[in-house]
Amino acid sequence: MKVIVSGCAGFIGAKVCELLLERGDLVFGLDNMSDAYDVRLKHHRLETLRKLEKFSFFECDISDNSRLLSVCEEIKSLCEGGRIDCVINLAARAGVRQSIENPWIYYSTNVTGTLNLLEFCRSEGVGKFVLASTSSVYGENEIPFREDMKTDYQLSQYASSKKSAEGLCSVYNSLYGIDISVLRYFTVYGPAGRPDMSVFRFIKWINEGEEIVILGDGEQKRDFTYVDDIAAGTVLAIRNLGFEVINLGSATSVSLNEIISVIERRTGKKAKVTCSAPHPSDIRVTLASIGKAKRILDWEPCFDVETGIENSLRWYNANKALVRSIEV
C-alpha cells in the first residue's frame, strides 16, 4: 500500500510508520516538527525512520492547506499511478492542560488540519482514512468507556477539538463514502514517549532525583496503553470497515501512585512526591471497553504495565544523555 502518515515524527506516528514499513508499505511521512514539546525527541525518532527503506519525509503543517496540497502533489508524483491508498492522521496538538492556555492552535491542527486531509481524500479518491482520536472525548462518564456512550460533555478544548474532528469524519463518510476508522486512544506510553506525559516524566525525575509534583492525590487512574499495542491496532484499522469508532486501550486502569511504585521497584530509587490541588480538566478514571476492537480488528493488547515500563526504562538507560537534556 501507499500510505500518507501525518505526525510521523510524533510518538505514535513514528511507531506506526515502522510497522507499515516492516510489512512492505510505501510510507510518506508528514510532520511540521513543532515545538509543542522538545523537538529533539522528534528528530531522534525521525532519524530512525530515515534509515528505513520505502520511507520519505516531508516537512508540512496540515493546517496549511496550500502547503499540504503542494506536498501531496509531490507525493503523487512518486507513486505508481499517482494514487494514494490510505491517509492516517496522527498529526495533532495533544495535551489537555496546554489546550486551555492556547485553544486556537488546537483547533487549527486538530480540526482544520483534519478537514484539509479529508478534502484531499475526497478530491483524489483516497478510499481509506484513519483518525487518531482520544479517550478524553468521554469526559466524566461511566466506566468502562464504550464507543456507543454519549460524548457531549468534554472537559477541555483538546477533547472538544478531537470530538469536532470525529464529526468531520462522519460527514465525509456519509457524503462521499470514504471508509473511515476513528480510533480513541487511551493514555499512551512507552520508549521515546512524549515528555509532557506522566510515565516519561516520572522515569526522568525518579532517575535524576527530581521532585514529582502530582495534581491531585495520585489515586486518579488511567488506562495506560503501550505504544506498540496502539500502533498495531492502528495498522489493523486500515482494513475496510465503513465508518467505525473504536477504542484502543489496555482495559486495565492503574493509578499514578502505582506507576510510581513500579518505577521505584525497577530502579531501586525512591521517588520524591508532592501532591497539590487537582486540575478541573482532569478525568478521575479512564478505562476502555475493547470488545469492539477485539471483534472487528481481531486486536487486543499484548503488553502489561510492568513490561511496558521495563521497556521504557531500558530506552531511558540507552538514551540518558538525550533525556537529561529534554525539557519536560
CA distance 55 to 57: 7
Distances 171 to 33, 91, 165, 174 between C-alpha atoms, Å: 29, 20, 10, 5
CA distance 135 to 87: 21
Task: Tell me if residue 23 falls in helix, strand or coil.
Answer: coil
Whether 158 is catalytic:
yes
Catalytic residue among 107, 158, 189, 316: 158
Which of 205, 196, 229 has the alpha carbon at shortest distance from 97?
196
C-alpha cell at 308: 511496558
User: What phi and psi values does residue 218 have, to the nearest 5 degrees?
Assistant: 85, -5
C-alpha cell at 43: 528528530
C-alpha cell at 266: 525497577
CA distance 90 to 104: 19
What is the SS3 assignment for 151-195? CCCCCCHHHHHHHHHHHHHHHHHHHHCCEEEEEEECCEECCCCCC
Task: Tell me if residue 84 falls in helix, strand or coil.
Answer: coil
Task: Tell me if residue 31 falls in helix, strand or coil.
Answer: strand
Q: Which residues of 151-178 are buried (b: 16+ CB within 10 A; e: fewer)?
A: beebbbbbbbbbbbbbebbeebbeeeeb
User: What phi and psi values does residue 166 have, to the nearest 5 degrees?
Assistant: -60, -40
What would the DSSP string read from start to end of 254-278? Answer: EEHHHHHHHHHHHHT---EEEEEPP
CA distance 208 to 199: 14
Q: Which residues are catalytic?
A: 158
